[in-house]
Structure 1
Amino acid sequence: MAHIVKDTEDFVTDLLTHQLDSNYLYHNLRHTQRVVKNTKELLDAYDLNDKESEAIELAAWLHDTGYTQGFNDHEKNSSIIATKFLKEQGYDEEGIKKVSELILATQRYYEPKNLSEEIIKDADSSHLRSKSYLETSELLREELSKLEIAEFSPKKWRNENIKMFRTEHRFYTDHARKNWQDGKDKNLKKLVKSKKKLKKLTRKEELKVKLKNESPERGIQTMFRVTMRNHLKLSDIADTKANILLSVNAIIISLMLSNLIPKLDDPQNDYLIYPAAIFVLFSVASMIMSVLATRPNVTGGEFTKEDVQQKKVNLLFFGNFHKMKLQDYEWAIQELIKDQTYVYTSLTKDLYFLGLVLNRKYKLLRWTYTIFMVGMILSVIAFFVALKFYGPEKIIELPT
C-alpha cells in the first residue's frame, strides 16, 4: 500500500476543491496542507514505525473532510468519510481503526493518550505559532460569521484568542514545545499588546466623552458663546432697522426738497406750507433718532495696573484698552487668564454692558418707528385738510 498516501492526497484535494462550501475561509484545503506539512515535521523528529507514521499522515489528510457535510460533528463525519474511502482502497481494518481514532483526537478538548495522538493534535494547532497567525485567525472569525455559527466583534474575538492561548491550548510533543512555543508566545504578546493599546485608546475616548458631557467648564463656555452670539445678532438687527428708516427718510426729504419745496414760492401754494413742514419735521426727527440708535459710544480706552489687579477693568471690550500700549495690554491679558474667576467676570460684564447697549438701541428704535408712523399719519391728514379746505378750486397734480 505504498501508494495509499498519494491516493489519499488526490482524493482529499478533489473533495475539498469541489464539494466544500466556499464560506469555509479557514477550514479548507490550504489548512489541510498546512497540517500535513507540520505533521511531517513532527514525524521526522520521532522514530516511529512506517505503519504508524503512515496512519498519522493519512489522518492529517482526512481529518477535515467532514466539513463537506457541515460544521457540526465534522470530526465524526471525517472519520466516516475516511473509513469508507480506505475500505474502498483495500486498506487493512486495523489501520482504518487507527486513522479513525487519530481523526477523532483532533477534537478541541480531547486529551491525547499516546504520541501519535499528540503529533496529530499539535499539527492541527500548529498555526498558533505561525507569523501569519493574526491573518489566519481573522479568516476563522469571518468563516464563523458567514456560516452563521457565531458572530464575534474584533474585541471579543481577540479576548477569546487570548483566553485560548493562556488556558485552553498547549503543545504536547517535546518537539513542538521546543520549536513552536516561542512563536506561539510571540503571537500571544501581539494579542495582549493590541488589547492594551485598544483598551488605552478606548479609555482615552471615554474620558474625552465624559469630560465633554460632564465638564461644567464646557457648559459655561457654551452658555457665554451662545449668549454673546445672540446679543450680537440682535445688535445687527437693530442697526439694520435703523439704517432702513434712515434711508427711507433721506429719500423722502430728497423728494420733498426737489419737488415740493420749490413750489411753495408760489402764493397759490401757501396752503401746502404746514403739511410740508409737518412731513419734513417728522422725517428729520426719524433720521435723528435713527442716527442716535446706531451711533457708537467709545469710552476712554485706558486703564492702570491697579485696575487690572483689582479686577475693575473689562479687558475684553476694545473701548477699555484701545489707547494702551501693546506690552501693557499683553501683561493685562496674562493676568486675566491666570484667574478663571476674572475671565468669567469679564465675560459677564461684556454681556451686561452689551445688554445695556441693546436696551438703548431698541428703545430709540421704538421711538423712531413711532415718530415715523405718527409723522406719516399727521402729514397725510394735513395734506388732505389743506387740499380740502384751503386749496384752490382746481387741484394741480404735483409731480412725483
Structure 2
Amino acid sequence: MNTDTIFREYRPSDAERSDRSAGDRLRHREKVRESIRENIADIIAEESIIGKNKDKIIKVPLRGIKEYRFVYGENTPGVGEGDGDARPGQVVGKTGKEGQGQGDGRAGDRPGVDYYETDVSLEELIDIMFEDLELPNLERRALREIPSDRSTKRKGYRHVGIRVRLDKRRTARQRVMRALATGRKQDLAQVEAANEMQEIAEEEREPQYGPAAVLQTPVKRRFPFHQDDLRYKHLETDTREDSNAVVICIMDTSGSMDTMKKYLARSFFFLLYQFISTRYRNVEIVFIGHHTEANEVTEEEFFHKGESGGTFISSGYQKALDIIAARYHPSLWNIYAFHCSDGDNFDSDNPAALRTAKELAEVCNLFGYGEIKPLGSRYYESSMLNVFRRLDEPNFQAVLIERKEDIWPSFKAFLSKDRVKE
C-alpha cells in the first residue's frame, strides 16, 4: 500500500500559512449578519439611522451569541408524566421562573438575555438590508442602453499577484510570524535593527549612521523573505445593474401630514433612496411634493422642507405623468413610482386620483402606494385604500403603514425578489 495516499510529508510552510481562527471569525461574522437580519425591522425603526451618511458608524444591539457549554440542572424533585406524544429532544417539565420575562412582574433571581452592541457602518448595514431586494421587472431597453460603470472592491489578500499590488506591511508581518514559528527571533531582531539603522542613515544622512558607517559593519541577512511571505491585495470588480431606469418619489406635504406621518413617509423614501443609490447605477431619481398643487423639488427640499394646505392627490400623479411624457418615454426607460400619503384626500378629487393612478400604473414597471395611518390618528375612516381597491393593475401594490416597525415590511413588499416575473 502506498503510504503517500494516507500520510503527506510535513512542510513548515503548511503550518505557517494556516490560520486556525479564520473559520471562527467567519462563523462569528455570519452570526452577526444573521442577528442583524432578524432584527432589521427594529433597527430601521430607530430615528438615529434616518438621514445618516454611509460612513457613519451605527451601534446595533444584538442578542448574545452563546457557545455550547455545560450547565447545572434544576435538580427539582418529583415525578413527571405525559400522554406519550413527546418527541426526541423536546424539553419537558420546565416552567417559567421569575426574572426571565420582559413584563412588569416582581424582581427575580434568574439570569436574563445577554445583549451587546457591535459597531456596524451604515454602508455595511445597507448591504445586509438590501441583499434580497431588487427593482422588479427591470428590463433592458434596447433603444437606449447606458453602459454601467465598474468599480473595484478590496476582497482580502492572496499569495500570488502582480508586483504593484504587493502589501509590504502584511508581507513583513508574515516574515516575522515565520521567524517566530521557527525559533529564529534573535536573528530576525538583528536584521531588523540593521535595516532600521540603514533606513535612518539614508533618510537623515547623519555622520554617525551614514552609508559608509553602515557598510563598514556588514550584517548577514540570515533570515530573508520567502515566497510564502508575500501577500498581495486582492481586488474584485464590482459590476452593478446596467439598465436605464427612473424612480419617481411622490410625497404628500399637505397640512394633514403631521410630524409623525412625515417622519414615516421620509423614512420609507430614505430607505428607497439608499437602496437605489447603493444597488444600481445610471438610475435617475425624481422628487415630487404635492398638496393641492404638485412641484418637482430637490432632494434636500424633499427630505427637509415642510408645507401645508389641502390635498389633491391627483396633482402629484399628473405631475409624474407630465415628467414621464417630457423626459422618460416608457419605451426607453424602466419607470418606478412610489407615493406616500395619509389618504386624507379631498372627496371631489377621488375620481381624478383614481384615473391618474391607473394611467401611471400603465406606464410604470411598478407603482406603489403607501398609506400612512399612525395608530390613534384622526380621520382614520378617510382612506385612499378603499378607492384604489378598484385599481386592478397587476403592477400596482398598496400597503398600510401604522407604526415605525411597519416601514421595513412595507418596503420589502414592494421590492422583494419574489415579485420578479420570470
The bucket for the TM-score relative to the shorter chain is: under 0.3
Q: Does 1 or 2 have the higher relative contact order (CA < 8 Å, sep 6+)?
A: 2
| TM-score when normalising by structure 2 | 0.16
Q: Which one has the largest radius of gyration?
A: 1
More strand by share: 2
| TM-score when normalising by structure 1 | 0.17
